[in-house]
A = this chain, B = another copy of it.
Amino acid sequence: MERVNTRLYVEDKLFEGATVGLDSAAAHYLRSVLRLEPGARVGLFNEREGEWLGIIDGLGKGWCSLRVKECRREIEAERDIWLVFAPIKRSRIDFLAEKAGELGCSRILPVFTRYTDVKRVNTERLAAHAKESAEQCERLSVTRVDEAVSLEKMIQNWPADRRLVVCAEFGEARPIAEVFTELLRDEPDAGLKPWAVLIGPEGGFSKEELEALSRLSYVTPVGLGPRVLRADTAAVAALSCWQAILGDGGMRPPKGTTPVTIT
């Protein structure tokens, strides 16, 4: 497979001979940042048709059209892991969306808990970060971003077949690696089922919240060791352990892909 230096997620249906138009942000990026010209090669992908080679047909201020050539990668089954988190301040929440994208989250859901300080969440900005990180890390899908809801509402609407790991600094909790390793031994396909990780706000969960969560049949409280981690660190640590032990940690990056230089 010939290399491409740029991959873009597109909603359009991808097939040989299709014409794809980019939105103005993507067109601006190709034209004014990367300074690409007609004839340049770009990877185009989505979670339905996989990744295809696109050749720039034409581009101008705010527009770019590409002609789709051959398929570069077929779609693959992905793990279904959500990140549920109490909103934190701007630079750290942006970071969280980026990392959730890289760590293969299918969805992120902001939830307001008792000690959550942040009152509003710009889900569009988070979605843009998640999309960019999917484009850079060789995923074929993007992380969806839900609108923020209260913890009560999240619990009311929770799909009972989705297991929820709650990262708990205090109270009863078993070590995360022990929980996942034991589960993998007793139920080898556990990682193919729906999962989620829940991270509290910087002030932690309230005692009542943690107790209410622990009573839910689908919840397992886990501990992340002796250090009190920031919310963003806890999220990356828990997702990394999940992917490494239960998820797709045994897979390798697709052949013929280039490590993308991040600017």
Contact = CB atoms under 8 A, between A and B. Distances in A.
Copy tally for this chain in the complex stands at 2
Contact of A244 (B99, B103, B169, B177): B177
A137 B249 contact: no
Interface residues of A, number: 52
Contacts of A212: none
B259 A203 contact: yes
A233 B259 CA distance: 14
A247 B225 contact: yes
Contacts of A175: 244, 249-250
A19 interface: no
Interface string A83-111: 00000000000010001001110000000
A226 B240 contact: no
Interface in A226-263: 226-230, 233, 236-238, 240-241, 243-245, 247-254, 257, 259-262
A150 interface: no
Contact of A139 (B99, B178, B203, B227): B227
A251 B226 contact: yes
A93 B247 CA distance: 28
Nearest to A177: B244
A137 B257 contact: no
A136 to B, nearest CB: 7
A167 to B, nearest CB: 12
A260 B176 contact: no
A103 B250 contact: no
A168 to B, nearest CB: 10
A151 to B, nearest CB: 17
B244 A225 contact: yes
A119 to B, nearest CB: 16
A113 to B, nearest CB: 12
Contacts of A117: 261
Contact of A250 (B178, B250, B261): B178
Interface in A161-181: 169-170, 173, 175-178, 181
18 contacts: A95-B95, A102-B230, A104-B225, A136-B228, A138-B228, A169-B253, A175-B249, A176-B244, A177-B241, A203-B261, A204-B259, A225-B248, A225-B250, A225-B251, A226-B253, A227-B253, A228-B259, A245-B245
